Structures are given as C-alpha cells and as structure tokens.
Chains A and B, each alone.
Chain A
C-alpha cells in the first residue's frame, strides 16, 4: 500500500498549504460551509439541533429532577406559572412560583390544583436537588436550574400520571429519541453505501439481484413490517438491547433509499470525464472509488442522510406509541406519548401532549438543515 501511503502524504502536505488564500484555494467543504451559512433557516435549525443534542447529552444535569421519582401529591399537576410580580405587586428580579395546593372537587372528586399565593418559591441556577450519576460516572446533585428549596417541585411543563416531572422526562426521552435516529441512519448509511456501491460499481447480475431485493423490501408496508419484527422481540430484554433491536428494525427499510442514491451517483459519476481520465492515468479501482467517486458524492449523501433522520425519529415514536417499540421504564418521546393516548388526557391534562411539540420541532429542524445542506452540497453548479 505504498501507493496509497504516498498519496496520503501528498494530500496532507497539500492540505497544509491551503490555509492562506481563500476562495481560490477553497476546498469543497469550505465552499459548502459558505453556502450553507447563507441559508438562514438552516443555520437557525442547526443551532436548535445543537441545543437539543447538548441537552440530551447532559440530561442528568439539565433536567431539574430524577425522571423516576414521583410525587403522589402532584399527580397530573399542571405547569406552574413562572412569576416576577408577587400578589402585593412587588417586582422580583429572581423569578418564583407559588406551590400547588391540592384540593378535591366536591362533586367530581377530581383533583384541583390551586396556587398557594402566600408562599413564594424562588428559582435558582445550579441548585441542589436529586442525586444523579452523569453518564453513570460522575456523581452529583447539582442541577442547571430548579427551585432553591430541594423539597419543593417546579412543574415546568406539568406532571405525568404518577406525578413525575414531564419536563425532566422529555429531556431524558430526547436522549433515546434523538440518538436512535443517528444510530439508525449510521446503520442505513453503512448498508446503503455497501450495497449501493456494489450495485453501481459492479453492475450486471449483482446490480440486478440487489435492485430486486431493494424493490421487494420497499414494497413491504413499513408499519406492519416493523410491527411484525418488534413483536418478535422478547419482552424481557433490557432497555439497551431493545434499543439496538429497534434501530436494526428501522434500518431494514431505511438503507434501501440510500443504496439507490449511491448506485445512481456511481453510475452518473462513472460517466464523468475526470473518472475516465483517472482510469487512463492508471488509477486502480480502489483509488478511483476512494479518491474520485466517494468524495464527489459524500456531501450529497450527507445531505440525504440528514433528511433521513426524521424518518427514524418518527419510526421510533410511532412504534413506541403503539406499544411495540421501547417500553417503560425506558423513556423516549414515543413512550411519553403513550400516556397521552386517552381522550381524558386531551381534555384535562393537555400538557401530556407536549412531547409532540419536541418531536415536531426536531423533525422540522432536521428537514431544514437537510435542505440547506442539499442546496450547499453542490457548490460547483453555481460558481
């Protein structure tokens, strides 16, 4: 592999040279970045996604409570109002809430939560609260924000059916829901490039067989297929194993569209003169694939992948919602939404639908980022 080594050495040396002159020596990725930055909506969406993922990564720290600790007295408590002005009309720089006083409706026996205006519970940053182990490693009880009184509970987005904090659970849910898309797409990416590449590069019979398999897979209705596969999962599997099983199930169909794209690009690129020129230069197959073909469509593939992530997120949400994906005690947005299945919820505790909002926002954000990347990924058409 001395050939590849020397090529790699030349490349890095060339790359170091590039730092000074701007547009004229701008590489493909620089051009893409410049164009992407001009797509305002995509940039904003990217910022949203970065925040979401940061929150998911530091869930234990960002979430004000432990997702499993419930408070019976706060079952289905609504969101608190965050206030700055107390009942006497005085302004407080530090926001506060009035804790709930639970009473029962004398006729329906339904719980009624009334704010106790005599008590002010101020919010604070870096407050002490439930103990946790960040990533199972770092022990701490400091949370990004919360009530200064560790005994009181801030109900930012309401409480669930057993009195667990919904905001906390949405944050923990993001961890699974957002990463399942990434991992699923990574798997699809791998399978898609492998089979699409084989199909496009070898052609002939291999191409034909792979294409027929893809068509068969795509002909299956997705939801019943997923249902069938997930029913096959043993219910006593631990959360992590179920999680990966679900990812594999979602990827069974996901890779086909990527394989098609890869195959099409392979075919188109093989016709490009610069690929023909490389063959005449004496470049071998591997060199042509890794130096000419893959770099030419990598940007495009990444854009496609970004657009594929929402499908994965929706897939997980849908499966979990109908009870075939992740199961409690695992927390994902789909699992949370399962609580909102009853019509009673819609009428009395609409905040239990809030995970939907996060699903929608993250999917839209992925779509906008994907659009931006797609527009930016072919800089040469506009230069």
Chain B
C-alpha cells in the first residue's frame, strides 16, 4: 500500500524523489478556530536527491526549507504530494502514504541532525543512552556489551573518545555535542542524513571541523545528505548541488559551481551578492541590496512571489507565476530556474558570472 503506484518515476540515481510536495498551515482565529487563511509554507516543490550527493536547500527564514525537510522525513505530514524513497534496486516506496510501523522502518534509513546541539540531546541521558537509544528501539543489539561496543565505535567515528560514553551532554561543548548528534544519526547505518542547519549554531572554527567531518563520513559511509542551510558560503563548500528556495518554492536548482558563478534567478544573484565576504578588497564592490523583506507565506503577492523585491520585475511577473524550467541547455548537468526572464537576464555570480561567455538557451 505504500508502493509508489503511478505517482511518478524516480530518476536512476535518485534515492529520494520529492514530487509536488505541498504543506499548508491553516491560519485560524477565534474560539471556534475559524480558518481565515493559509500559510503556504511549501508550495509544489519537486526535486531528486541523488545517491551519494549532497543537495543543499538554501534560503532565508520562512522560505520553507526546514518544512520541506520535515515533510520528507514525515516529522510533519505534507498536505499533498509524494516523497518517493528507494533503496538500491527495490521498488520505490511513498513515505507520505506509510503507516506508523512502515515509517519506523523507513526512518532507519533517513536520519536527521538538528540545528541546536543544546536542545537536541536529552540532558538526562548519557552519551551511551543517547547514541544507543535508536539501537535499543530498533532492537539492533543483543546485549549491553554489544551496545557499548557499537556506541564506542560510533564515538570513534565522530572523533570522540569512547571512554566518555558515561558522561552527560552538559560535559561537552557545542561542537562536541553536534558530533554526538551525528553519532546518534549514524547509529542505524542510514542511507540519507538530513542536516537541518546543523552547523549554523557553531563558532566558525568548530563549524569547519563539523563540515569536514560530515564530508569524511560521506566518503567513508557512502551517505547522501540533504543539507538545509542559510549560509551561502557554507553551502558552497559542502554541497554538490543547490536548490534555492523563496516563499515555499524552489526558484533555482543546479550544480553548486554553476549556480554560484552563473545564477539564473535574480534572487540567487541577490543572495550571492549580499553574503559578506571575509576579504576587505571586496569592501567597495557594488552590492545588490534587496529592498523590503522576505515575502510572507501567509499573504503572498500575486505572480512571482519575488517580484516586489526584484529589480528586473516587469508586468508579466506581477501576473504570472513562473515555472521551474531547464535553463542549462541540452547538454551538461541540469540547471533550472523559475524566472520568466531567466534566459534573458545577465546576472552576476561570484567573480562576475556576467563576464562568462553567453550560452545558447532553449
């Protein structure tokens, strides 16, 4: 019953395919909870997460990136759409249609790391208990001895001293706690790890440690990451592909290097331009400073949600919602953008993408 039926094909390399994902939150008011509106947190999102890659979901607060990740792991049930998941050559399963027991099994393969390492670890449990919890719940260990060995192995994997396994989280710093959270995520040997702003709360020197650790673990264990973040420089370093979200929709998705050097959506261009660069020589560069604020997903403007802040906006943008279409040409990797003028605008990426030779666009 959780089979994918006819809801869509998965690409060859995809381990997770998100199809027409929608998450609306009703806005209710008064004693009788009358619905007066709807927050379109995630609105028709489609993408494939390929096996072994790191795909970043990037955007500002309220863009729906976190809700999307929660809807994939079914921590929040989507309003509509499908999340197809496939292990190896088996038939795709639709996570959105699963019952509790099936979901419990599927979640062994899709794990999550949270943003705040202080609230994501139960302060009343030792490392052994925290990291061992999934193993105990899924009955993956036979004995206390086996559990201790497994937890020790996991701690070594994240470069923590196994002799600390009887300590409580309060004995650890933020970076170490995030290592503990990673160890917990890896305890069931998952295929996919969703990292929800997993390094955002950390200091830069520690953040770098965790970023490199995640990469090493990916190589070592063949993991697939969905990396949710707002920091563009971090995403640039960590991700193979990037999906930029704005007001519940993906506005641009493509390979990292291509997207950063040759952005095709004005919002991507503005994000790249706004990211502070630790190089004083770029102090006086011309920046694109977007006016106004992120669109309210409870009260979206008509047409392209970005048009009130877009310096290239024209009449059409106010009327018509742009579709996410291929802009990368026939050959080469896919690069898609949701802008009516994606093929006409010359947008600047890092080091000035506009200077690069124009490509033929379909």
Contact = CB atoms under 8 A, between A and B. Distances in A.
Contact between A and B in the complex (any CB pair below 8 Å): yes
Interface of A: 3, 6-7, 9-11, 13-14, 17-18, 21, 23-28, 31, 272-274, 276-283, 287, 292, 295-296, 379-380, 383
B116 A273 contact: yes
Contacts of B171: 23-25
Given A9-B144, A272-B119, A21 B138 contact: no
A28 B123 contact: yes
Interface stretch (B5-13, B125-133, B207-215, B313-321): B125-133
B73 interface: yes
B111 interface: yes
A3 B137 contact: yes
Contacts of B104: 282
A273 B124 contact: no
B107 A282 contact: yes
Contact of A10 (B129, B170, B181): B129
Contact of A273 (B107, B120, B128): B120
A7 B167 contact: no
Interface in B110-146: 111-112, 114-116, 119-124, 126, 128-129, 132-134, 136-139, 144
Interface string B78-99: 0000000000000000000000
B166 A277 contact: no
Contacts of B139: 3, 6
B40 interface: no
Contact of B122 (A9, A13, A280, A292): A292
B168 interface: yes
Among B139, B167, B170, the one with the most A-chain Cβ atoms within 10 Å of its Cβ is B170
15 contacts: A3-B136, A9-B144, A24-B167, A24-B168, A25-B167, A27-B168, A31-B170, A272-B119, A274-B121, A277-B181, A279-B75, A280-B75, A282-B138, A283-B133, A292-B122
Contacts of A276: 75, 114
A21 B114 contact: no
B147 interface: yes
B119 A283 contact: no
A64 B181 CA distance: 63
B177 to A, nearest CB: 11
Contact of A281 (B133, B147, B168): B133
Contacts of A13: 144
A286 B136 CA distance: 15
A266 B124 CA distance: 16
B166 A278 contact: no
Contact of A277 (B108, B120, B138): B120
Nearest to B172: A24
B123 A380 contact: yes
A6 B136 contact: yes
Given A3-B136, A25-B167, A280-B112, 13 more contacts: A3-B139, A10-B128, A10-B144, A18-B166, A21-B167, A25-B166, A274-B120, A276-B75, A277-B181, A277-B184, A280-B75, A296-B123, A383-B170
A191 to B, nearest CB: 25
A24 B167 CA distance: 5
A244 B167 CA distance: 45
Contact of A295 (B75, B111, B124, B133): B124
Contacts of B134: 281-282
B137 A277 contact: no
